[in-house]
Amino acid sequence: MIVLKYRVNRAVGVEFSNEISSTEERKAATPKAVKAAYDLANGKYTAQDATTTQKGIVQLSSDTNSTSETLAATPKAVKAAYDLAAGKAPSNHIHPWNQITGVPTASLTAKGITQLSSATNSTSEVLAATPKAV
């Protein structure tokens, strides 16, 4: 016995597929494939809470004094923190060099401050070369 509906479909070039991840444009999804895709999209995924090491769902907070690592700051909280920081010192605020203390000297093994040098024959390991020296 020949099933007529399959014969007609093949005559016009339509093939059925149960796959739900196919990118084939010449195949039509069967009801089974449609149901499988629907079931997958309909609540099969449970969102995870976000952490500092995992993407996920977070709760917003406008608090500016929180130490939480599970809440996300709102623009209101960020603006409040920005306004507070911006009001502390103007951008043209400077200190004379003799007021800056406690900064270590840079070396090959430690971060710190260093002096620039334009010398091309220096063997110093505590001076930093300028573009002129390089």
How many of the other CB atoms lie within 10 Å of CB of 121?
A: 5
State the average pLDDT over residues 72-87: 93
Q: Where are the domains of the chain?
A: 4-41, 47-87
Distance CA 39, CA 94 (A): 63
Distance CA 13, CA 66 (A): 63
Q: Residue 90 is which amino acid?
A: P
Q: Each residue of 6-62: pLDDT tens digit?
A: 544 455 567 888 888 888 888 888 999 888 888 888 866 678 999 999 999 999 999
132 or 4, greater pLDDT: 132
Give residues with Cβ within 8 angstroms of 54, minimum separation 6: 48
- The whole-model pTM stands at 0.40
**Cross-strand partners of 73:** 61
Q: Residue 11 is which amino acid?
A: A
Q: What is the pLDDT of residue 44?
A: 63
